Amino acid sequence: MDKIKVGIIGTGYVGLVSGACFANLGYETICLDVNENKINMINNGISPIYEHNLDELLNKVVLKEKLLYATNSRKKLVIDCDVIFICLPTPSNANGSIDLSFILNELKEIGSILKTCKNYKTIVIKSTVIPGSTMNNFLNTIEKFSSKRLGDDFGLIVNPEFLMEGSALNNFNNPDRIIIGYHDHRSKDIITSLYNSFNCPIIYVTFDEAEMIKYVSNSFLATKISFINEIANLSENFNINMDHIVEGVGLDQRISPNFFRSGLGFGGSCFPKDVNALYSLSKQYDSELTMLKATLSINDIQPLRAIDILTDIIDVTDKKVTILGLSFKPNTDDIREAPSLKIAKELHRLGSDIYAYDPIYVNKKINNYDYIKISNNYQDAIKNSYAVIIVTEWDEFKSLNSDDFEFMTHKLVIDGRRILDPKLFDNSLVRLITIGNSKNHQLN
């Protein structure tokens, strides 16, 4: 039997990472995008997105092995490929529900092409979609536009991703588990053969279960973060260092220290969107997930903890305040829902003169935040500042010590991600305040 040919629709960090990794497993892979610039970059072995090691991998599979190419021809992809992954955006609507229109429009187009296809094609939903989307919306769209039947003429699978930005290639190649939502055995067997080189558990469930597993995973992780952030906020009133709490609690195998770092809250393109979507769904079914409501409200205000500490000590109006780290997490250029933007917006409201430095956001402007003056290095960003807030835990900031803040006008440093060593600030003129550490300690 010929080797399966893989189609990827949508070349964002899920689609392009998945496509490059399938190609790296030896599968001929075609990526579809509507953006000509992205298509050209990919076909030159260059990643349009910033993801660790993706450029090197694309160079290998596109230029050397010629196993992957990008196109804008949906027809060619559908006709040539056996398994077609849908990796399109599912953005939030204003009320927090998700917008499935990108996927529905794509499935209409694919359905119309399937109408004239003789070969069996398996369509795989990899985008994060709320429970019920595939069974209630996607299946009947494909059948309607293709005049074909699931199982007899085409296959349909739900295969959610668990990729973390900054480590997406590793997450793809070494998953904790593979989730396969299926309805017919032919598709199940085809998708199983595609993943046959993986040695993790493969869990076979219904469409709805596969969709729900993704949301419950992200919602639980986000809730774990909001929980430890609230504990950290309370702990500041006691003689407590949060690292010791996380160590002592995290040694319980049932809890673990993972995803238990208190700080300025979670951001990114997934956690806020996914938790909002599941919460919004729960209200439609009169089963409101009140815990997720709390997860979201805690996370909305957590970044402003840094501002509260700051304004308790100095008046920031017309003062230079520095933000170190703009991306929502290290090793990515993604600033979607980043805590840094919430902090900048509040500082702007208070009339501060805002400077920032981020290892990736050099010589760039951020749309709708042109009041943020972005420096080319952290030294310039810090100089003559009244306060510095560490917002993203980039490695570059972890070794900072009191000398690095020597040229501040007022020497106040707020460590929002608990990465600085307080001992390096003892007996210095710099006042270091660490989110989640006892205020008592911080009065030195």
Question: Which stretches of the chain bind ligand UDX, using CB under 6 A?
Answer: 161-165, 218, 221, 225, 259-261, 263, 266-268, 270-271, 328-329
Using the minimum distance from each CB to ligand UDX, give the nearer residue, 256 or 379.
256
* CA angle centred on 222, ends 216 and 227, rounded to 5°: 120
Task: Give the separation between CA 150 and CA 125, rounded to whole angstroms.
Answer: 14
From the candidates 21, 31, 81, 270, which is the catalytic residue? Answer: 270
Is 270 among the catalytic positions? yes
Q: Are strands 154-158 and 178-182 parallel, antiparallel or unpaired?
A: antiparallel
CB of 109 to ligand UDX, least distance (A): 26
Answer yes or no: are the C-beta atoms of 105 and 66 closer than 8 Å.
Answer: no
Q: In this structure, which amino acid lies at residue 62?
A: V
Q: Which residue is nearest to ligand UDX (CB)?
A: 270
Q: Name 307's Cβ contacts closer than 8 Å, sequence gap at least 6.
A: 343, 346, 347, 350
Using the minimum distance from each CB to ligand UDX, give the nearer residue, 336 or 410.
336
Question: Which residues, in sequence order, are bridge partners of residue 204?
Answer: 180
Using the minimum distance from each CB to ligand UDX, give the nearer residue, 336 or 383.
336
CB of 65 to ligand UDX, least distance (A): 27
Phi, psi of 351, rounded to the nearest 5 degrees: 85, 20
CB of 438 to ligand UDX, least distance (A): 20
Task: Give the separation between CA 211 and CA 161, rounded to whole angstroms.
Answer: 10
CB of 72 to ligand UDX, least distance (A): 27
Residue 350 to residues 74, 76, 383, 414, Cα–Cα distance (Å): 50, 55, 21, 17
CB of 112 to ligand UDX, least distance (A): 31
Which has the closest alpha carbon to 30: 10, 49, 50? 10
CB of 63 to ligand UDX, least distance (A): 28
Using the minimum distance from each CB to ligand UDX, give the nearer residue, 154 or 271.
271
Answer yes or no: are the C-beta atoms of 28 and 67 closer than 8 Å.
Answer: yes
Using the minimum distance from each CB to ligand UDX, give the nearer residue, 30 or 103.
103
Q: In this structure, what is the dihedral angle of CA atoms 63, 67, 73, 77, given to the nearest 10 degrees?
A: -170
Using the minimum distance from each CB to ligand UDX, give the nearer residue, 45 or 250.
250
CB of 15 to ligand UDX, least distance (A): 13
Residues annotated as catalytic are: 270
